[in-house]
Structure formats: structure tokens, C-alpha cells
């Protein structure tokens, strides 16, 4: 009986192997073909993608192997109980085939594979359905072969067994592996990375620059970030390309202005990063580097195209919680310790805190001066319920601005204290990550970049939260770069720079040449020539919830234009850094000239791209997180 169990099991493992191969090729090759923007090294990228996909599918198949063992053992036990012969099957050349077991296992495999594919690919494309049809067809052929063999027993000589049956033999699998995957492995290793440096890009969601100690904030809530700034380079005037996450991160990861990548919306059209746009991680992976993404933000997920080029993009329901700092920190530290002596790795880490609701898990009583607000939403830091967005949902469809609910100065200060406390919480998590780097011996070869995707409003311009406006509090973010062994000629850069500049800067750290046109430039002092260069114009925009606004910064003059109302605002940041005095009426000629240059800049950078097909991710934890954050009701 044990021998026949082994025979049945090895055949089902063979069937599993071939099915996984089909899943791998059908799931990766279409994506590679769609990414026509990458011209150089396409075959290397294809090899990396197929090997990574096969490794990931094998990892996910372990529960299936265990499940098959249990089902097969139970089937043998039942047959043993009810069949007096104790050896069910049909004789072939003096042996017996456990056909009933084969049939049960083939059906189990089919059902499990279909379930796995649908679960892992909620937005199933034509390729996904094609894979399912192939898998079902293959299993059906195996079942038919076994059933037919049971009905009409035929004796085969040793050299004339059914071909389909022979393909399931384990001894053929190593040959298939050598033929199919060895060339891919050799090809993937044909490109040698030029350095063993690592880069940790840490995004702290919703972090205002003026709430960081090294930028002059009075509260001591960022000691870790402040420590990095002392040994690294701090950029005092850094602008995100938008005031909300998806558009800003799409620009950071592509080096392009929003009008180039066309990622504007939360849902529906133009909410997904197109496959034909090349990402930073794709270039690095193609150059032989390991690329890893960890995101707690429900907008930065594979369903929206942000996994492009990542060898591993970790997604977990544990990360999609109201307060996810601890989950992200634990996840990153475990990964670093499992990869002791990290080399040649780009690690993207996206903290969701201090995004509202502001619900820190550490003690914040000294921040709030023991004040207890009466409003439960203020007490819990639920800013989206205070912002007036839900109450004005119908008007927001026409591009209106939400009107926040009335609150006292003490109430506002309490909200800010909760926000600051969450910043302190993330800073502590960052400290744990740095200690993990030290413990694993990777601190000396790891460049650490800390920044944010956008800022946050606290009634600075009569609003809460972010996304609707483009004032300094929502688009000006911190940026600190610490590179071990690098002695910069300056430790503070006063020249205005943009988040899109990180794209070519990170490539330069990895010594990877940039091919193709992007809007970003290598940051000073990593590009010394930019220290003396004249100030370039800076551009950003938002189309969050039917807004259509853009800003243009030229030296100290900043123009904000609302394309729906046609109204423009002009500010001199050298004299009015808080943007309280609109100069557009008094300086109409300058405002008109800057407005024309803004229109020209957007027109020059506009690329027409069809919106990728979109279906809302079918994940209850993700939906609940979006509701908690106020993005859906």
C-alpha cells in the first residue's frame, strides 16, 4: 500500500509541476510584451520576471502539496476500508494503478489551482482565464486517460506506456527544468550589477516638512531623522508633484510629471500606473539588482500597477490597519535579518502613518496638555469626518472644496498633537530599522533616503487633510539622504528640488546609466554641476476628486492655477512663506506670464496614454482600510 501511495503521489507532483509552468509563463510574458518602453535588455528582464514568478508560485503551492497528501491518504484509507481486495485498481503488466486516487487528486488540483488564481488575481484578465482553461483541459485529459484505462484495461510493454502517463514521471522533471529554466537562469545572471550598494527609500505618508526637527520644528518628535540629517544631506525646499499619494508616488517612481504618467484618480479611469511607463524598480531589476517593495498604503498596491519591476512586492492584510507603524517596522526588520549582509538591493518602504485617522499607540499626554475635546471625532483624530468631505459629497463632483466643521483653537491643537505623536511613532520605527541594518552588517553599504509623498493641512488655508489644494503645507516635503562614506561639499541644499529628482539620483547611486527621457534631474551634490546651476521651474498638479489645479514655482514666485474656475493665485515665498497674501491682482502681468508658462509646461509634458482597464480590488481588508481612511463610505 505504501509503495502505491508513493506512485500516485509522484504522478500528481508531476502534474503540479507542469501546471505551475503554465501559470508562470502565461502570467509573466504578456506583461513583458506590454512593457514595450524598455528597449535594452528586454530578454534579461523577461528571464528575471519568469524566474521570480515561478519561485513565487512554488511558494504558494506548498499548501497544495500538503493538501494533496491529506486527500490522497484519506482516499487510500477509505478504499482500504471498503474494498476487500485492499488494493483497488487494475492490473497492468502485473502491477496495479491507483486510478481512483489519480482521479481524485487531479480534480483536487484543478479546483485548488482555479481558486488560487482567482484569489491572487482579483482583476482576472483574458490571460488568466486562458490559464484556467489550459489547466482544466490538461486535468480533464489526465482524468479521461485514467478513466478509460480503468474501463478497458490494456497491457503495455515497458516501452509503450501512454505518453501522457510517462510525462508525469518524476524522472522527467529534472530534464524539463534543465531545458526550460537553466537558460533563463544563465540569461538572468548575464548582467552583473556594478555595485553591492543598497538603497532604502522610506516614504512617510502625509509628513509635512515643517513638522520635522531638522527643518526647525519646536517639538522633539523626530530624533532619528534629525540624526540622519547631521551625517547626510538635507534639502530645505523639496516639492512633491501632487498633494495626494497616488499621483505623487507615480511621479517619484517614474521620474515623470503627472501629465506624462496619467495617474490622477482614486478609482475608475486613470487610476492605475500604465505598463508602458518604465519604473525605477524595472530599470534596477534589469541591471541585476534585487528590488523589494513594502507598502501599508492601500493606494500603492499591485492592483494599481505599483508592483512593476519589483522582485518581491509584499502585501499583507496586517499592513492595512488604522495604525500600521508596528506592522511595517516588524515586517522590514524581519526581512533585513533574514537577508543578513544585504547587498545590491533597492528596498521601498511606505509607512502609512501619520495619515489620519491620527490614532497613535504611544503616550501623547505631554503633547496635548491633558486637554480632552468634547467632539469624539477630534478625540479619535478622525480628520476625514471633520473635513466636511462626506457632507459635501454631491458638490465635490463639481470640483468644490470641502468646508471643515467648526472647531476651537484647542481642538485644532489637539488634532495636531495626535498627528505629531504618530510622527514620533514612525520615527521610533525608523530607528529600529537602522538598528537592524547595523546588526546585519548592512549599515555601511546602505544609502538611506527619507521623504514623504505629500504634506497635510490643519486649517492653514481653511481646510483639513490633503489632495484638494497645492499650498506649501501639502506639497512641501522633507528629504534627507544619508550615504555612508560620502562627504558632500554641502550638507544643506537650499535650491528647490522635486521628488521626481530621486529617480535619476538613485540610479546614479547604483551606477546604472539612464536611457530615455525623464523630467527629473540628479540631485545636488550627487551632481555637483546642479549646485551652481540656475533655478529650474518646478511643476505639480492635482486632480483629486474632480479638482484640476497645478502650480508653477520659479525662484521665489509660486503660481497656483485652478483650471475649473480660471482663477490664479501668486505668492512671493521669500516674503510670504505661509502664502497668505495673493499678489495676482496687483501683479496681473506677472501672473499672466507665469500662467502661460504653466500651460506650456503641461502641454510639453503631456503624453496621451489609454487608461488601463480597472476593477476595484476585491479584498475586504483593503476595502475596510479605505473606509477607515475616508476614501470610500
In terms of Cα–Cα distance, which of 587, 583, 586 is closest to 573?
583
Kind and range of the H or E run holding 253: helix 245-254
Q: Do the Cβ atoms of 451 and 477 come closer than 8 Å?
A: yes
Rounded alpha-carbon distances, angstroms, from residue 22 to 19, 321, 354:
5, 35, 43
What is the pLDDT, as a whole number, of residue 431? Answer: 97
Grid coordinates given for 201: 527609500
Coil, strand or helix at 6: helix
What is the pLDDT, as a whole number, of residue 340? Answer: 78
In terms of Cα–Cα distance, which of 369, 380, 377, 375 is closest to 413?
369
Residue written as grid cell 486649517? 459
In this structure, what is the dihedral angle of CA atoms 385, 383, 306, 622, given to the nearest 10 degrees?
A: -50
In this structure, what is the dihedral angle of CA atoms 154, 157, 158, 161, given to the nearest 10 degrees?
A: -40
Instruction: Quick: pLDDT tens for 118-150.
Output: 554 444 445 455 555 555 565 556 555 554 554
Grid coordinates given for 106: 487531479
What is the pLDDT, as a whole number, of residue 123? Answer: 43
Q: How would you class 191 by CB atoms within 10 Å of its CB: exposed for 0-12, middle for 13-18, buried for 19 or more?
A: middle
Coil, strand or helix at 443: helix
The angle formed by the CA atoms of residues 115, 119 and 125, to the nearest 5 degrees, is 95
Parallel, antiparallel or unpaired: strands 549-554 and 557-562: antiparallel
Helices (H) and strands (E) in the chain, counts: 21, 19
In the chain, helix, strand, coil percent, each to 5?
Answer: 50, 10, 40
Per the rule left: phi > 0, alpha: psi between -120 and 50, beta: everything else, 240 is: beta
**Non-local CB neighbours of 336 within 8 Å, separated by 6+ positions:** 342, 433, 436, 437, 440, 442
Coil, strand or helix at 446: strand
What is the pLDDT, as a whole number, of residue 44? Answer: 58
Residues in the chain with pLDDT values less than 50: 1-7, 32-42, 84-98, 120-125, 127, 147, 150-164, 166-167, 170-171
In this structure, what is the dihedral angle of CA atoms 17, 21, 24, 30, given to the nearest 10 degrees?
A: -160
Domain spans of the chain, in order of start:
2-188, 198-628
Tell which CATH classification among 3.90.1150.10, 3.40.50.20, 3.40.640.10, 3.40.720.10 matches the domain 198-628: 3.40.720.10
Q: Write out 449-476 in H/E/C secondary structure.
A: EEECCCCCEECCCCCEECCCCCCHHHHE
The angle formed by the CA atoms of residues 458, 461 and 541, to the nearest 5 degrees, is 100
Grid coordinates given for 511: 551606477
Q: How would you class 137 by CB atoms within 10 Å of its CB: exposed for 0-12, middle for 13-18, buried for 19 or more?
A: exposed
Q: Where are the beta strands (DSSP E) in 219-334?
A: 233-235, 238-239, 290-295, 312-314
- Reported residue count of the chain is 633
Residue-wise DSSP of 174-205: HHHHHHHHHHHHHHHTSSPPS---EEEEEEET
Grid coordinates given for 243: 498633494
DSSP 254: H
What is the pLDDT, as a whole number, of residue 58? Answer: 58
Q: Do the Cβ atoms of 561 and 553 come closer than 8 Å?
A: no
Rounded alpha-carbon distances, angstroms, from residue 631 to 317, 384, 394, 545, 594:
17, 9, 15, 10, 34
Dist. CA 111–CA 124, nearest whole Å: 16
DSSP 485: T
Kind and range of the H or E run holding 482: strand 479-482
Q: Do the Cβ atoms of 289 and 44 come closer than 8 Å?
A: no
In terms of Cα–Cα distance, which of 228, 244, 168, 223 is closest to 8?
168
Considering only CA atoms, give the Rg of the chain. Answer: 29
Rounded alpha-carbon distances, angstroms, from residue 6 to 104, 158, 360:
15, 19, 55
What is the pLDDT, as a whole number, of residue 85? Answer: 45
Distance of CA 582 to the CA centre of its chain: 38
β-sheet bridge partners, residue 557: 554, 572
**Non-local CB neighbours of 54 within 8 Å, separated by 6+ positions:** 20, 21, 24, 181
Grid coordinates given for 596: 502661460
In terms of Cα–Cα distance, which of 430, 242, 468, 236 is closest to 347?
430
What is the pLDDT, as a whole number, of residue 37? Answer: 37
pTM of the predicted structure, to 2 decimals:
0.74
Give 131-137 contacts, CB < 8 A, sequence gap 24+. Answer: 131/22, 131/23, 131/26, 131/27, 134/22, 134/26, 135/19, 135/22, 135/23, 135/110, 136/110
Q: Do the Cβ atoms of 315 and 218 come closer than 8 Å?
A: no
What is the pLDDT, as a whole number, of residue 56? Answer: 59
Amino acid at each position: 500500500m505504501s509503495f502505491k501511495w508513493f506512485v500516485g503521489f509522484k504522478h500528481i507532483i508531476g502534474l503540479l509541476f507542469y501546471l505551475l509552468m503554465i501559470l508562470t509563463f502565461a502570467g509573466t510574458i504578456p506583461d513583458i510584451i506590454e512593457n514595450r518602453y524598455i528597449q535594452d535588455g528586454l530578454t534579461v528582464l523577461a528571464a528575471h520576471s519568469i524566474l521570480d514568478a515561478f519561485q513565487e508560485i512554488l511558494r504558494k503551492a506548498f499548501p497544495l502539496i500538503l493538501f494533496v497528501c491529506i486527500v490522497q491518504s484519506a482516499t487510500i484509507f477509505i478504499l482500504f476500508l471498503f474494498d476487500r481486495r485492499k488494493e483497488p485498481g487494475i492490473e497492468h503488466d502485473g502491477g496495479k494503478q491507483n486510478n481512483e486516487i489519480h482521479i481524485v487528486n487531479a480534480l483536487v488540483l484543478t479546483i485548488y489551482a482555479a481558486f488560487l488564481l482567482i484569489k491572487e488575481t482579483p482583476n482576472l484578465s483574458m490571460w488568466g482565464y486562458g490559464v484556467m482553461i489550459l489547466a482544466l483541459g490538461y486535468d480533464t485529459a489526465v482524468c479521461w486517460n485514467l478513466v478509460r484505462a480503468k474501463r478497458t484495461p490494456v497491457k503495455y510493454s515497458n516501452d509503450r506506456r501512454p505518453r501522457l502517463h510517462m510525462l508525469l514521471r518524476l524522472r522527467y522533471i529534472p530534464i524539463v527544468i534543465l531545458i526550460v529554466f537553466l537558460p533563463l537562469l544563465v540569461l538572468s545572471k548575464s548582467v552583473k550589477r556594478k555595485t553591492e550598494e543598497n538603497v532604502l527609500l522610506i516614504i512617510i505618508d502625509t509628513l509635512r516638512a515643517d513638522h520635522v526637527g531638522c527643518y526647525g520644528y519646536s517639538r522633539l518628535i523626530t530624533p532619528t531623522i534629525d540624526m540622519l540629517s547631521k551625517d547626510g544631506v538635507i534639502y530645505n525646499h523639496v516639492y512633491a508633484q501632487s498633494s495626494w499619494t497616488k499621483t505623487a508616488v507615480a511621479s517619484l517612481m517614474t521620474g515623470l510629471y503627472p501629465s506624462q504618467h496619467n495617474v490622477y484618480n482614486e478609482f475608475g479611469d486613470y487610476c492605475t500606473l500604465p505598463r508602458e511607463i518604465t519604473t525605477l524598480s524595472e530599470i534596477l531589476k534589469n541591471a541585476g539588482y534585487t528590488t523589494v517593495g513594502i507598502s501599508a498604503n492601500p493606494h500603492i498596491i499591485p492592483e494599481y500597477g505599483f508592483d512593476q519591476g519589483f522582485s518581491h512586492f509584499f502585501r499583507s492584510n496586517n499592513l492595512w490597519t488604522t495604525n500600521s507603524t508596528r506592522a511595517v517596522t516588524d515586517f522590514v526588520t524581519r526581512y533585513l535579518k533574514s537577508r543578513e549582509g544585504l547587498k545590491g538591493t533597492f528596498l521601498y518602504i511606505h509607512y502609512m502613518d501619520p495619515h489620519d485617522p491620527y490614532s497613535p499607540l504611544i503616550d501623547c499626554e505631554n503633547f496635548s496638555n491633558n486637554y480632552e475635546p468634547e467632539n469624539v471625532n477630534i478625540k479619535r483624530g478622525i480628520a476625514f469626518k471633520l473635513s466636511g468631505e462626506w457632507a459635501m459629497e454631491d458638490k465635490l463632483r463639481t470640483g468644490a472644496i470641502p468646508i471643515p466643521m467648526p472647531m476651537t483653537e484647542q481642538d485644532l491643537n489637539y488634532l495636531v498633537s495626535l498627528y505629531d505623536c504618530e510622527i514620533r511613532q514612525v520615527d521610533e520605527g525608523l530607528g529600529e530599522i537602522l538598528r537592524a541594518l547595523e546588526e546585519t552588517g548592512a549599515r555601511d553599504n546602505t544609502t538611506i533616503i527619507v521623504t514623504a509623498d505629500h504634506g497635510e493641512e490643519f486649517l492653514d488655508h481653511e481646510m483639513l487633510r490633503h489632495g484638494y489644494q497645492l499650498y506649501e503645507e501639502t506639497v512641501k516635503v522633507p528629504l534627507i539622504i544619508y550615504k555612508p562614506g560620502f562627504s558632500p561639499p554641502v550638507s544643506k541644499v537650499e535650491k528647490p528640488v522635486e521628488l521626481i529628482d530621486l529617480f535619476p539620483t538613485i540610479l546614479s547611486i547604483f551606477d546604472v546609466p539612464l536611457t530615455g527621457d525623464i523630467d527629473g534631474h540628479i540631485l545636488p551634490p550627487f551632481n555637483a554641476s546642479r549646485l551652481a546651476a540656475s533655478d529650474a521651474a518646478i511643476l505639480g498638479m492635482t486632480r483629486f476628486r474632480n479638482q484640476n489645479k497645478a502650480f508653477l514655482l520659479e525662484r521665489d514666485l509660486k503660481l497656483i492655477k485652478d483650471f475649473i474656475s480660471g482663477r490664479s493665485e501668486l505668492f512671493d515665498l521669500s516674503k510670504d512663506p505661509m502664502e497668505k497674501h495673493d499678489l495676482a491682482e496687483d501683479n496681473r502681468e506677472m501672473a499672466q506670464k507665469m500662467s502661460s508658462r504653466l500651460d506650456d509646461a503641461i502641454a510639453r509634458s503631456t503624453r496621451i496614454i489609454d487608461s488601463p482597464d480597472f476593477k476595484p480590488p476585491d479584498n475586504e481588508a483593503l476595502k475596510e482600510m479605505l473606509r477607515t481612511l475616508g476614501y470610500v463610505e
